[in-house]
Chains A and B, each alone.
Chain A
Amino acid sequence: MTERRALFPDMSPTRWSVAGVVLLALCLFPLAESNQYVLTVFVTSMILAVLNISWNFVLGIAGVWNFGQLAIYALGGYGAGILMLHTSLPAALDVIVGGLMAAAISIVMAVPTLRLFGIYTSLLTFAFAEVVQYVIENTSTGLTGGTFGFPSVRGLYGSLSPVVAMHAYYWTVLGIIVISMVGVALLSRSRLGIGLRAIRDAPGFAAARGVSPLRYRMLAFALSGFLAGVAGALYLSFNQSIAPTVMGLTAMSIDVTMLVIGGLGTLFGPIIGTTIVAVVETLLVSYPGIEFTVVGAVLLVIVIFVPGGVVGLASRVRSRLPTWNARPRPGVMGSGSSPPRPAAALGDGVPALHTSDGQER
């Protein structure tokens, strides 16, 4: 138990029990629910959750502004699909190989981002995704099925009856979510996670300390790409097909909204965000068309008014209570470009933190 606490520092015993109950309920849910539509919504959302966990790792924890994750996801799906269609390998192996292919492409995508900063990275990765989509839609090789989508495949559990297959997919995806969450939690506390955050927050300093951006970021992209690719392969498998629309602008908006609403860079953010958006989408299903407009509006409101997403909001509310009275002590600060000020001016040796609103601009 102590080991676990170290792994999830935010988790109190109460929260562990809540999480346990939720997980147990999720495990048992398909046995109680016989409506195949509801289960389909659940599995689809859970597959998206896997994708979002992988994206959150690169975007939130490694801090690389990668907007090409959906291309990796789609490529994992297409890769697995091509294997299922043209080889006789076991389907589970196809899913894993699809994930590995996605990881490889993700590494390739990582190379140019190593030299670029901020917005250039997002542009380049975004353009990468668009190009991948364009090629999938327009290639004349016939491998992808173009805009019409991939030819039908049997998928992972194609030999089972539909109802049993639904349960199998449900538990498989749920298992992958649990494994990947534990994995992300472990990785965040590992050398890799600490190194990634160091590169994110202070690239120069991290490099000077021997944290190699090359190795760390490549590894982050590889791991996240693998998970995204597996998610894509699961999507293909579950839907027995895949189409370029899984990675279009609309799909990307939905996923970005999920991440932002949940809270970028947090462990539970992707899950919470995916759940909220999936619920909203399901509620709006009888008003076709307005769902994306609503999702876009929600995204705007959350980004502007709730910067840390739901997880950030929750932790702010919690931390507010004890520190309500402890207002920061006024210290004397110099203007931005002044050289170090006399010690006397600092007041009781309060460390001179950098000004929060970047005076030097």
Chain B
Amino acid sequence: MTDLVGILVTTVILGSIYGLVAIGMTLIYGTLRILDMSQGSMVMIGGFVAWGVLVSAGWSPVLAILFAFAATFLLGTATQLVSVQPLMGRRNSIDFEMITFITTFAVAMILTNVALEVFGPEQRNVTPVISGSVDIYNGVNLPYQSIAMAGVAILFMVGLWAFLGMTRWGMAIRAVAQDLDAARLMGVPVSKLYPVTMGLASSLAGIAGVFLGSLYFAYPSAGNLPLLEALIVVVFGGLGSLSGTVYAAYAIGLIQAVTEIFIGTTWDLPILYGVIIVVLIVRPQGLRGKPSEARL
């Protein structure tokens, strides 16, 4: 029973944070048809912002989240303008996905190395956003930090869902994802919408970075593992499918929780990878992707 509660709690927490990082990737893929490799760097930058605000300046966690949101929003927008927008003319070529995979990858490389120059390679401790913990079921100890993390992640995911479903610009993002020409005929200014979408998605990763930073550390390559996990989630869920991404995030959280408790943390990634291979061999388009093309 203790194991079961532990698994459940870990699943919810891991799943929420994976969802938050991966959903931005899905949003970007659905809208721009690119796989944004700079998302991991946004997590890293969120971590450094958290360090700066919480440790260096000693301000409140809410400010940390706000600053991380703003910083990564701007960076994400800039990334789009620099590494994707100039290529939009080649949008219909078969190589577009690979070319933008490489250019966003180049941005990730630049960001990581700039962070390395500025902050140095050492791992910086980030104060937990909230300290203390609660014993929820004999021996299953749950830090408030994790509860807050899952709560904020879920809040932002629901917020994104409401934004896409109900607001003018949210609907425009969905429209562009589904039929670019038709969306332009409706008057949607795609050249503005694209950078904003990428900024928005990056800011979700940045917020995840605030929490991951205080859970682990802030350091220049802190984004690598979250990027890999997000990639696995995104493939598992089916590229471009938001609901698939959320399901996949929790499914992967579950797999990881089970492996950690019964096998050990060394093997969780290889086991995850094995699961993904099997899933993709059975369903090449992932859980919720369309057989030929993924859509929002």
Q: Do any beta carbons of A and B sit within 8 angstroms of each other in the complex?
A: yes
Interchain CB contact under 8 A, A123 and B35: yes
- 8 Å CB contacts to A: which residues of B49-92? 82-83, 86-87, 90, 92
* B99: A residues at CB distance < 8 A: 303, 307
Interchain CB contact under 8 A, B273 and A249: no
A238 interface contact, C-beta 8 A: no
In the bound complex, CA of A139 to CA of B269 (Å):
12
In the bound complex, CA of A118 to CA of B101 (Å):
11
- 8 Å CB contacts to B: which residues of A254-297? 256-257, 260, 289-290, 292-293, 295-297
* Residue tally, chain A, CB below 8 Å to B: 44
Known A124-B276, A124-B280; judge A300-B83 contact (CB<8 A). Answer: yes
A126: shortest Cβ distance to chain B, in Å? 7
Interchain CB contact under 8 A, A256 and B105: yes
A253 interface contact, C-beta 8 A: yes
Grouping DSSP codes into helix (H, G, I), strand (E, B) and loop, the A interface class, with mixed when no group exceeds half, is helix
- 8 Å CB contacts to B: which residues of A191-244? none
* B98: A residues at CB distance < 8 A: 65, 118-119, 122
Interchain CB contact under 8 A, B280 and A304: no
Interchain CB contact under 8 A, B114 and A140: no
In the bound complex, CA of A111 to CA of B278 (Å):
11
* B117: A residues at CB distance < 8 A: 289-290, 293
Interchain CB contact under 8 A, B231 and A300: no
* B35: A residues at CB distance < 8 A: 119, 122-123
How many A-B pairs fall under 8 Å by CB? 120
Interchain CB contact under 8 A, A115 and B273: no
A112 interface contact, C-beta 8 A: yes
* The stretch of A44-52, A128-136, A313-321 that contacts the partner chain: A128-136
Interchain CB contact under 8 A, B108 and A115: no
* A8: B residues at CB distance < 8 A: none
In the bound complex, CA of A323 to CA of B269 (Å):
54
* A358: B residues at CB distance < 8 A: 92-93
Known A122-B98, A361-B92, A361-B180; judge A297-B269 contact (CB<8 A). Answer: no
State which of B86, B113, B232, B239 has its C-beta within 8 Å of the C-beta of A296.
Answer: B113
State which of A119, A253, A304 has its C-beta within 8 Å of the C-beta of B86.
Answer: A304
Known A131-B273, A303-B99; judge A115-B234 contact (CB<8 A). Answer: no
Sorting the interface of chain B by its residue count into under 10, 10 to 19, 20 to 34 or 35 or more gives: 35 or more
Q: Determine the residue in chain A with the shortest Cβ distance to B224.
A: A249
* A29: B residues at CB distance < 8 A: none
Q: Determine the residue in chain B with the shortest Cβ distance to A140.
A: B266
Known A124-B280, A135-B270, A300-B82; judge A293-B106 contact (CB<8 A). Answer: no
A190 interface contact, C-beta 8 A: no
Interchain CB contact under 8 A, A303 and B103: yes
* B87: A residues at CB distance < 8 A: 303-304
- 8 Å CB contacts to B: which residues of A112-152? 112, 115-120, 122-124, 126-128, 130-131, 134-135, 138-140
Interchain CB contact under 8 A, A138 and B97: no
Interchain CB contact under 8 A, A303 and B102: yes
B28: shortest Cβ distance to chain A, in Å? 12
In the bound complex, CA of A290 to CA of B181 (Å):
42
Interchain CB contact under 8 A, A249 and B231: no
B228 interface contact, C-beta 8 A: yes
In the bound complex, CA of A221 to CA of B87 (Å):
30
In the bound complex, CA of A87 to CA of B239 (Å):
46
* B107: A residues at CB distance < 8 A: 296, 300
Query: Can you name 22 A-B residue pairings with CB atoms under 8 Å?
Result: A65-B101, A116-B284, A119-B101, A120-B284, A122-B98, A123-B35, A123-B234, A124-B276, A127-B273, A131-B273, A249-B221, A249-B224, A257-B106, A290-B113, A292-B110, A293-B109, A293-B117, A299-B109, A303-B103, A304-B83, A304-B103, A358-B92
Chain A positions within 8 Å of B, measured between CB atoms, are: 65, 111-112, 115-120, 122-124, 126-128, 130-131, 134-135, 138-140, 248-250, 253, 256-257, 260, 289-290, 292-293, 295-297, 299-300, 303-304, 307, 357-358, 361
Nearest first, the 6 A-B pairs at minimum CB distance are: A358-B92, A296-B109, A296-B110, A299-B106, A292-B113, A253-B109
